[in-house]
Amino acid sequence: MPILMIVLLFGVMYFMMIRPQQKRRREAEQMQSALSAGDEVVTIGGLYGTVTGVDDETVMIEVAPGVQTRYARPAIARVVKQVERVEQVPDEVEVKE
């Protein structure tokens, strides 16, 4: 009986604490990998800015006109406004008969 209680306790802790944290971490990684120029972001420190460049590990943010700072990707807490990305659809080629 005590072993069953311990297993039940670990099961509850997994579903209440560990799984939600893993989900939040995955969502943050997806958001950080989807950053592109023009997105308005907030850093962990509360600094608002616009993304001007993206590298593998860093993000360039313009915090004021002409003032750019470089941050590590994990330092981006959230995207305030994401630039709409329009996929370029090639024009259809006309076939001459």
- Global pTM value: 0.65
- pLDDT digits over 50-89, tens only? 999 998 899 999 999 999 999 999 999 989 887 666 555 5
Decide if pLDDT at 93 tops 60: no
Domain ranges of the chain: 2-81
Domain 2-81 has CATH 2.30.30.30: yes
- 37 neighbors 84 (Cβ within 8 angstroms): no
Contacts of 7 (CB under 8 A, 6+ apart): none
CB atoms under 10 Å from CB of 50, counted, come to 17
Strands 58-64 and 67-72 come out as antiparallel
Sign of CA dihedral 78, 57, 33, 87: positive
